[in-house]
Amino acid sequence: MVRFFALLVLATACCFAAPPLAQATPPPVLGIYDLLPTNSLPDTPELANPEVAGLSARFRWDSIEAKENVYTWTMVDQAVARAQASGKKVILRVVAGMHTPAWVYKKGAKYVRIALIYKMPIVWDPIYLQHWCDFINAFAQRYKDNPHVLSIQMTGVGKYGEMGINFPGLDWTKYGYTDDKYVNAWKTVIDAYRQAFPDKVTHLCIHKPFAQKYDVMMRVVNYCLSTYPYKVYIQANDLKEAGSEYSAYIRQAAASTKVGYQMYGGREWDDEAMGDRQIAFEKGLADGIVYAEVYQGDLQDEHLAAAVSFLAAGLEADAGP
């Protein structure tokens, strides 16, 4: 027990820092971003489209730091270079959660088993948080001053890139879950990102942790809005023809920061569930978004060109002068 609290204090000391009293507002994230497959960098002819503002590239922690303190940034560097060569910017996201390296568990981070063969860290575990914060700092050392990196998606207290930790049949209370532990873990990680990337926008991809815990999600959102206004953007990753489960929350956040959506899917992922793109874009714009992550397949499909143009024009209008 003494060791647990000592590690918790260490994780908090290293990751949690009071926000600076004064800090310039980072350049805004506006327009359409080309959402690439995770851990992949295919050809991107769609970057030649002037209506596409840049790339949104996603990577896995266990691919970058398979061994402790040994980093393989090759694919991330290539994504940044691809954006630079196109005269565009890049949004970067490294996913922890289910993509936590095995060595973190060997260091003593607690976890649960998913479907017998997968591991998911207990995201409030101090050993896990310490190593994730260490990675955030290493990530920043490489990219915080790169002018072609526009912004950073915050992850780490969810199973993937969002805030959700839900799995069928998994009762988190058996593993010590409390609302405060979950919220405080996010505060620790958010502070770590803001300290590491003070001159760039960071994004929180909202999702209820599990069940109907929207109130817990909003505690984290409100922390971002009150502590880092217009430095943390709020987005949801589920926009489709039917709208977004989080539409009301996006509209609410739009009064205090910039907001955006990632599309639920695209030509290469859940195409049928996506439905009519034009209607989906209309609903997103009505929620006040100024940027959108659109799957690569949709940006390459000439049949969706008119809808994409509609979205680009609407985002520009929502962004204002």
Q: Which one, of 94, 86, 31, 87, lies nearest residue 58 by Cα?
A: 94
Alpha-carbon distance values, 39 to 7, 60, 135, 182 (Å): 31, 6, 17, 27
Residues 169 and 161: their CA atoms lie apart, in Å, by 21
pLDDT digits (tens, 9 = 90+) for 241-261: 999 999 999 999 999 999 999
pLDDT score of 15: 53
Region of 117 on the Ramachandran plot (φ > 0 left; ψ -120 to 50 alpha; else beta): alpha
- Those residues with Cβ within 8 angstroms of residue 18's Cβ, 6 or more apart along the chain or in another chain: none
Per the prediction, the chain carries an average pLDDT of 93
pLDDT score of 13: 45
pLDDT digits (tens, 9 = 90+) for 149-168: 999 999 999 999 999 999 99
Residues 93 and 81: their CA atoms lie apart, in Å, by 16
Q: Which one, of 74, 202, 73, 68, lies nearest residue 130 by Cα?
A: 68
Buried b (16+ CB within 10 A) or exposed e, 4-21: eeebbeebbeebbeeeee
pLDDT score of 2: 39
More confident residue, 24 or 82: 82
Identify the band that residue 301 occupies on the pLDDT scale cut at 50, 70 and 90: very high
Identify the band that residue 318 occupies on the pLDDT scale cut at 50, 70 and 90: confident
Instruction: Judge whether residue 145 has pLDDT over 50.
Output: yes
Residues 112 and 95: their CA atoms lie apart, in Å, by 18
Instruction: Judge whether residue 10 has pLDDT over 60.
Output: no
Least confident of 5-14, 26-35, 112-121: 5-14
pLDDT digits (tens, 9 = 90+) for 18-32: 444 445 789 999 999
Which sequence spans correspond to the domains of the chain? 26-319
pLDDT score of 116: 85
- The percentage of the chain sitting over the pLDDT mark of 70, rounded to a whole number, equals 93
- Those residues with Cβ within 8 angstroms of residue 239's Cβ, 6 or more apart along the chain or in another chain: 261, 262, 263, 264, 280, 283, 284, 292
Could you confirm whether domain 26-319 is CATH 3.30.43.10?
A: no
Cα-only R_g, the chain: 19
Residues 154 and 284: their CA atoms lie apart, in Å, by 21
